[in-house]
A and B are shown apart, each in its own frame.
Chain A
Amino acid sequence: MKKLLWLLLSFLVLQSACERDDLCLHKRVTPVVLRFRDDATGAPRRVDSLTVTYDTLTLVPLVPADSVAFYLPPEPGEHQLAFTWKNGSLRQTDTLVFSYRPREEFLSKACGFVLVLDSLQIEPLTHRWIRHAEVVVPVVKEDTLAHANIYF
């Protein structure tokens, strides 16, 4: 009888060792992170008032920033984004083409599938204020300091 009690007790202990591993620490969709740098020195440079729009959707409202993060649509191919710099009464808009290959990747039982953007490329169509763009991390999957640098 005592033996059985001990067996049942050890079983209870075993059961308490099982824990739920339901926590997912990964974002389902990762925003693309852009860092603005001075074209001459390469040092981080702040844009006084930046607006980023995609068609009619405002991705980044009028904010001062040297670094921005925003979500990209899940369609493959090319997407034209308008980057507007407001400097006092002066407004300059450049169109940047973002192209990538979206896919779903299975991470874990807790996270399930996440959206990953492969082969990220950024090309400025116009050069009114942006000189060039440089992609540093071509896969938008993890949060990083910067996926790309925009030089102006």
Chain B
Amino acid sequence: MRTFIFSILTLLALAVAPAQTDTSAVKKTSPFAGRMHLRLGYDIGKKIWSHYRHGNIDQAYLNLGYGNHIFELTAGTETMPYTHPTFSLVSEGRYWKAGYHYNFYDNWGDMHNEITLGIRYARAAFDYRLDQIHIDYPAPYDHWSYTRNGSVRFDRLHAWWLELTTAVRAELFHNLYLDLYVSGKWMPRTPQAGDMTAVYVPGFYRTNVSHFGFGLGYALSYRFGF
């Protein structure tokens, strides 16, 4: 499913990117050249998805662009439940990300769309509240299955990771943009919560044994030109 969405995104990116037509007649200068801009974005994809999963994620970013170079700062707070057949917990925390992206899209005239590729460094600080442990016996001993309630807290957990991101930002109407992004993430060390390995990290999503993660989403942003 995700690969399908990513393929669609790739096709979209290719469709938006212009064909390199004859430029000898008109010398066009990038509207970004020597000019700065500020972009403020809010991740609506994460907001909607998190509420669908009975949690909440607020993520916003600030981009400072100079020419085709973009410096980005992202911050987010999260409260997300995580469920497994044998346990359920609530992850609560915040994260920030700092990144550099390069815009490859050659804009024409007054347009300020972007197709970027960049890298980010991210850190998260979070807590776990382990609410429930459930042990299932196979049939015909199901009546021995039990659930142990009682919140066990794992506080002050930390994690950091790197991201490789590609994003497409297309203008919807006057200075308001729709951002579509895809990220590959790498977390060299999965943090421990007591005897548990952290199964979920705010900003990263579910951790993996392979230390790699994948994300995609969409945001709305507003561009301030100078």
Binding site for B on A (CB under 8 A): 1, 3-5, 7-8, 11-12, 14-19, 21, 28-29, 57, 71, 73-74, 104-106, 108-115
Contacts and interface: CB of A to CB of B under 8 A. Distances in A.
Contacts of A104: 86, 133, 135, 148
Interface stretch (B119-127, B171-179, B195-203): B195-203
Nearest to A16: B3
A113 B144 contact: no
Nearest to B20: A1
Interface residues of B, number: 40
B212 A18 contact: yes
A8 B86 contact: no
A22 B78 CA distance: 24
A15 B196 contact: no
Given A11-B184, A104-B133, A4 B17 contact: yes
- Chain A, interface SS category: mixed
Contact of A73 (B6, B144, B182): B144
Interface string B1-19: 0010010001001100100
A110 B148 CA distance: 20
A18 B166 contact: no
Contacts of A3: 104
Contacts of B184: 11, 14-15, 18
Nearest to B84: A112
B166 A8 contact: yes
B57 to A, nearest CB: 20
Contacts of A11: 164, 166, 182, 184
B135 A12 contact: no
A12 to B, nearest CB: 7
A139 to B, nearest CB: 16
A113 B133 CA distance: 7
A97 B184 CA distance: 55
B115 interface: yes
A113 B148 CA distance: 12
B117 interface: yes
B202 to A, nearest CB: 16
Contact of A109 (B13, B136, B195, B206): B206
Given A7-B117, A11-B164, A18-B212, A108 B135 contact: no
Interface in B60-110: 84-87, 104
Nearest to B83: A112
A17 B168 CA distance: 23
A71 B134 CA distance: 17
Contacts of A19: 210
Nearest to B6: A15
B207 A18 contact: no
13 contacts: A4-B104, A8-B10, A12-B10, A17-B212, A28-B135, A71-B137, A71-B138, A71-B141, A104-B148, A109-B209, A112-B85, A112-B86, A114-B86
